[in-house]
Amino acid sequence: MSEEIKEEIKEERTSNPSELVILHEDNHVIVVLKPQNVPSCPDETGDRDMLTMVKEYIKIKNNKPGEAYVGLVHRLDRPTGGLMVFAKTSKAAERLCTQMQSDGEDFEKRYYAIVVGTPHEPSCFGLTHFLLKDSAKNIVRAVPMATEGAKTAILDYKTIESKNGLSLMDIRLHTGRAHQIRVQMATIGHGVFGDQKYGTVPQSVGHNLALWAVELKFTHPTTKEKLVFRAFPPTEEVPWKYFDISRHLAVGIKSIHY
């Protein structure tokens, strides 16, 4: 990593998360943009979370008495930002969860990450580890396959571009384990920039995690329409601004583009 980049990294710090941003809504689903450092659902911190925010929005919008129904279909780690879909009916929640668990083409999640260094293998399809979570410490470790309680974690990655000691990665998940991308990339020696839990360069301390859910594909639970949503990471922030994110994300649009 160049000295110029190191100095710029030291100088820039992150901003506060924004309010609820809605990309799409109908009677069955709502797609929103999760800011970084906001929980996906209520946790022990009591901090404001996405599930509660969506419930409050629907309750106010529809003037509903009591608590509005919102189904949590999937999660993003607290420091990860990007696209999330919530279900507005129990039927939609059930169908979306079934899609996600099938590991097929009906429900796909794609991430961009900026990692430290350049992977020796520029791409890998089916990178597999066995992960064990320590719930008390909220830490996940890669362990031998036979370890009791370990769960299989599989992802595909492709190195899009490398510069200044960093690499922009395109990552697709086949499983949805806690901290999966962060742990798997750290395990192969290329931790995600800004990841204080699993190790990174000292210059990234104080910066947001460079991990963003850039694309979400799913089949609408009632209309059966194939939907695709894309959302840019904070391209003005370190380290995203070192890469031409707009050019890379503009490739391959076939459906709805946000």
Q: What is the pLDDT of residues 106-138, one digit of tens each?
A: 899 999 999 999 999 999 999 999 999 999 999
pTM higher than the cut 0.85: yes
Residue-level pLDDT at 12: 42
- What's the structural domain count of the chain? 1
How large is the average pLDDT for residues 180-187?
Answer: 97
In this structure, is residue 258 part of a structural domain? no
Q: List the beta strands (DSSP E) in the chain.
A: 21-25, 29-34, 71-72, 81-87, 107-116, 123-134, 139-143, 151-163, 166-173, 211-219, 226-230
Short-list 25, 154, 138, CA closest to 84: 25
Domain extent at residue 37: 3-249
In a domain, 255, yes or no: no
Residue 245 resides in a domain = yes
Task: Evaluate the CA torsion angle 147, 149, 150, 151 in order and state its sign.
Answer: positive
For residue 117, give every residue at least 6 positions away whose Cβ sits within 8 Å of its Cβ, in sequence order, or none: 165, 166, 167, 189, 190
Could you report the per-residue pLDDT of 53-96, keeping only the tens digit for each?
Answer: 999 999 999 888 888 999 999 999 999 999 999 999 999 999 99
Domain CATH number, residue 180? 3.30.2350.10
Tell whether 60 is covered by a domain.
yes
Residue 257 lies in a domain: no
| pLDDT value at 249 more than 90 | no
